[in-house]
Structure 1
């Protein structure tokens, strides 16, 4: 691929700028410091209050969960040393492993665990489903607690190890007892890294130091599971929203990892012998167009169906992710190529039908009111796909007001349930990992439990009934029947428009090793040679 003059100029100018920036920030040169250009700036510090990837990455740095998914998304004990279930499968007893303590020196106890799980259950898709099964939790002693169920649920360890949506991290009891609808600003966990608040510079740098008191598990690292052995002293996230700047920094060695390189620059950085481009997730990611179900016109399913008929996945994916090597059409809410990748009921939305979209939009009662599509250019693919959404929807009669802000502002706004005049929103484009979207239990967008659903708050009792049938199914055959029925219902009510799926590569210097296959990028097990 030939480099455009414009891109080349950007790279040259960025390379010229970087030594000055590095000098101004007095960046240490030790090989014990891992410097990373993440995909976005960190704004929200509470991984139970926000499901966005950058906050989840932050949460996994400083907190731990009771279980953890391995590279095959199978749950393994993490904070838990041992567990057992009663013969009737209604009581689960868990014992914490020794040596767990928070960064402030306090020991982790079951009081912290119970308060943390209760808070998580009020916010998360998986947590909300587990809450429906839960009859209560009780501490036996400081290291042992019981989870009592109303009916059996075999997926309890899977849920407690979730690495998607709002993750079930264990906080101090005092933090966990705060209002679950208000993000906490404390950052005291028990994980392998400590958040360095003193060196944090919003919009510029986020810093984590190795936790010298952390005791990892003895098993080898495997995905999120196993021993979280930290092999560097410090991890710095250097915020570089300009792709050319990040590309130049990687090539000169001023950063070690570019978490989400821009696809149009991959051919450029790949020519550098000191740079390696690779994938770190086993499943493709999903792009989506999310409507707000609380307010007209998208409280009417006909308006949401109009979104499906008005949009062509290829337009979005090529704008967001470039060459088709990195993306594919897929109408499955649960990821084509994954264990639940059915497209049942969604066949008619494979290609756009603009006349059908206009007809449905008229039937929905929409009369041309302004609709806010909130987005950001901080994450370039999302910004570009939002522009495609605005252009596509205007063609069939939607009056789209494309409002661009920084990503932190966009994600904060997503929590606002008011109308657009009250600071709310009508539409946004986003992406989610394959691990998040591959199952009815984990898919944040297909949770249609009304006020307990993710931003957009879709509400459909039939879809929730069918989702429950999948979770309750006793065997694979039963889950397959429930899955197809659920997917057909979702295609009818459109909790969001599936925009297809893509592979997200990362890029690293060749002296960096140990990046693990996981739903998000992890920073333990990595070393600089």
Structure 2
């Protein structure tokens, strides 16, 4: 079936190229064409933490610091910084030449407004906000961050490339309600969003920002010089994997950001195609419940999810051969710096009897539960089908609802009751760079209204997360992480479904893809 779909798609792509004729052949080589994993629906990377919006945000916005390939923070918009002897005052000076796409200079007023908005939405931003006494502008280029108590991870937080990124926006945009996504897309980054050519469901266009002044250091992950080597990047929305595979093989696109693993052997057999990985850590798969409404406002119902599900069934359904995936019950990524499965040993195999017992004790009476998903990302759609089947066996009444991924991503932010456009469950994948730390793991943030979609709420978890931040050394931090993990295994903010390696595919004439938490499009050139 896969071979037939691919053959048909190849014929279709060839016909398209013949139909466009000279236009396709004369297309400039300095346009990079990419098939992203999903369509872009939300433009605000502070209001939404979905990956496609974060990729968009990193194209057009910048952050004060940036993580290098080893996830270590380096100055980006910041020229210099210093701390007081008591570590309660941080001074930051912006580098010269920072300018928004509308021509306005970036000032510390924009920075302070942006950081306040980010602190109201993001996991690590919220934690930094708890430590913050206040911020003040000394002048247009220098501002002061004052803390209530020392926090050594300030640069790490300000350079975050995960969750809701600390994008520096114009003050007028940043002053808006952090719960409502802005519709403007004007940053100071190396690309400009081309709104005129944006076609929802079909095409997203970014043009090189001719006014952008990159740093002088070599590119290193998100850090260093963001030198754009193409005139334009076009995201061509191709939800059907066979169509994307055919487009890559015929040269209609240059990069397929997330190729379906079942098609990797075929596209790898093409001499002009290279399949590689750019992230240093595997991605995590998870089943997220909505904590606002029954039954998942009760931890027993959430714990039932862990006993009702077999990671291998999900991972095989989503990613095929086991060479691409790994069982793992660590909230913080097996093989990562904080990887531990302490407290979660009992979830290695499903226990339906235990799941049914816990579900009954939670007070669940068989009400329909909305499990939302999309086949726009086939692996997620297939795993949602596995979830529906597994949970029904345990006594959950699952209503599996499919729509496009943009709608799912938007619906994630809806706090209404499940019967009123809200939801109960969804399956998703999140990069390992996001999930590897208690500071950045969006799912283990249980700060109630400030938490990620699902709005997990547990005061003890937040106390234990704070203990990780306050740990004086690595040994103490490791012990604090293990204590936190034991508690998370009991309250189950979400069900960990394992982890997988997501490759990307490129044409052989494309070079310069950087190792980073998300795919970046500066430093790439077409040879």
Q: Provide the rounded CA distance (Å) in 2 between the counterparts of 1:136 and 1:470.
A: 23
What corresponds to 1:173 in structure 2? 171
| Aligned counterpart for 2:487 among listed residues 479, 483, 489 | 489
What corresponds to 2:305 in structure 1? 307
| Partners of 1:65 and 1:160 within 8 A in 2 | yes
Shift of 1:477: 0.8
Q: Provide the rounded CA distance (Å) in 2 between the counterparts of 1:4 and 1:89.
A: 59
Q: Provide the rounded CA distance (Å) in 2 between the counterparts of 1:466 and 1:10.
A: 54
| Partners of 2:278 and 2:519 within 8 A in 1 | yes
Shift of 1:22: 5.6
What corresponds to 2:476 in structure 1? 478
Shift of 1:85: 0.1
| Aligned counterpart for 1:46 among listed residues 44, 47, 59 | 44
Q: Provide the rounded CA distance (Å) in 1 between the counterparts of 2:355 and 2:480.
A: 29
Alignment of 1:9-88 (within 5 A): 9-19=7-17, 29-88=27-86
Structure 1: runs of 5+ lacking an equivalent: none
What corresponds to 1:406 in structure 2? 404
Q: Provide the rounded CA distance (Å) in 1 between the counterparts of 2:290 and 2:117.
A: 24
| Partners of 2:6 and 2:246 within 8 A in 1 | no
Q: Deviations over 1:63-111 (max 9, x none)?
A: 0000000000000000000000000000000000000000011000000
Shift of 1:29: 1.4
| Aligned counterpart for 2:326 among listed residues 311, 325, 328 | 328
1:194 aligns with 2:203: no
SS at match of 1:158: helix
Shift of 1:19: 2.0
Shift of 1:14: 3.5
Q: Provide the rounded CA distance (Å) in 2 between the counterparts of 1:515 and 1:344.
A: 36
Alignment of 1:277-292 (within 5 A): 277-292=275-290
Q: Provide the rounded CA distance (Å) in 1 between the counterparts of 2:217 and 2:491.
A: 45
Q: Provide the rounded CA distance (Å) in 2 between the counterparts of 1:335 and 1:7.
A: 35
Q: Provide the rounded CA distance (Å) in 2 between the counterparts of 1:401 and 1:316.
A: 18
Q: Provide the rounded CA distance (Å) in 2 between the counterparts of 1:80 and 1:21.
A: 49
What corresponds to 1:419 in structure 2? 417
| Partners of 2:14 and 2:250 within 8 A in 1 | no
Q: Deviations over 1:472-515 (max 9, x none)?
A: 00100110110110000000000000000000000000000000
Shift of 1:9: 3.9
Q: Provide the rounded CA distance (Å) in 1 between the counterparts of 2:359 and 2:61.
A: 46
TM-score, length of structure 2 as denominator length: 0.98
Q: Deviations over 1:425-447 (max 9, x none)?
A: 00000110010000000000000
Q: Deviations over 1:335-364 (max 9, x none)?
A: 000000000000000110011111111111
What corresponds to 2:136 in structure 1? 138
SS at match of 2:151: coil
Q: Provide the rounded CA distance (Å) in 2 between the counterparts of 1:452 and 1:201.
A: 32
SS at match of 2:196: coil
Q: Provide the rounded CA distance (Å) in 2 between the counterparts of 1:200 and 1:460.
A: 41
Q: Provide the rounded CA distance (Å) in 2 between the counterparts of 1:443 and 1:243.
A: 29
| Aligned counterpart for 1:114 among listed residues 105, 108, 112 | 112
Alignment of 1:430-445 (within 5 A): 430-445=428-443
What corresponds to 1:185 in structure 2? 183
Q: Provide the rounded CA distance (Å) in 2 between the counterparts of 1:21 and 1:421.
A: 47
Q: Provide the rounded CA distance (Å) in 1 between the counterparts of 2:445 and 2:62.
A: 25
| Aligned counterpart for 1:157 among listed residues 131, 155, 158 | 155
What CA RMSD, in Å, does the superposition of the two structures yield over aligned residues? 1.3
Aligned residues: 527
SS at match of 2:136: strand
Shift of 1:13: 4.1
What corresponds to 1:450 in structure 2? 448
Shift of 1:420: 1.0
| Partners of 2:10 and 2:250 within 8 A in 1 | no
Q: Provide the rounded CA distance (Å) in 1 between the counterparts of 2:16 and 2:150.
A: 57
Shift of 1:27: 8.9
Shift of 1:11: 3.4
**1:110 and 1:25, CA in 2 relative to 1: closer, same or farther beyond 3 A?**
farther
**1:145 and 1:8, CA in 2 relative to 1: closer, same or farther beyond 3 A?**
closer
What corresponds to 1:97 in structure 2? 95
Shift of 1:12: 3.7
Shift of 1:421: 1.4
SS at match of 1:198: helix
What corresponds to 2:124 in structure 1? 126
| Partners of 1:18 and 1:249 within 8 A in 2 | no
Alignment of 1:224-373 (within 5 A): 224-373=222-371
| Partners of 2:249 and 2:273 within 8 A in 1 | yes
Q: Provide the rounded CA distance (Å) in 2 between the counterparts of 1:293 and 1:133.
A: 26
Q: Deviations over 1:428-469 (max 9, x none)?
A: 001100100000000000000111100001111111111100
| Partners of 2:448 and 2:456 within 8 A in 1 | yes
Q: Deviations over 1:140-177 (max 9, x none)?
A: 00000000000000000000000000000000000000
Shift of 1:26: 6.8
TM-score, length of structure 1 as denominator length: 0.98
| Partners of 2:219 and 2:226 within 8 A in 1 | yes
| Partners of 1:217 and 1:227 within 8 A in 2 | yes
| Partners of 2:17 and 2:24 within 8 A in 1 | no
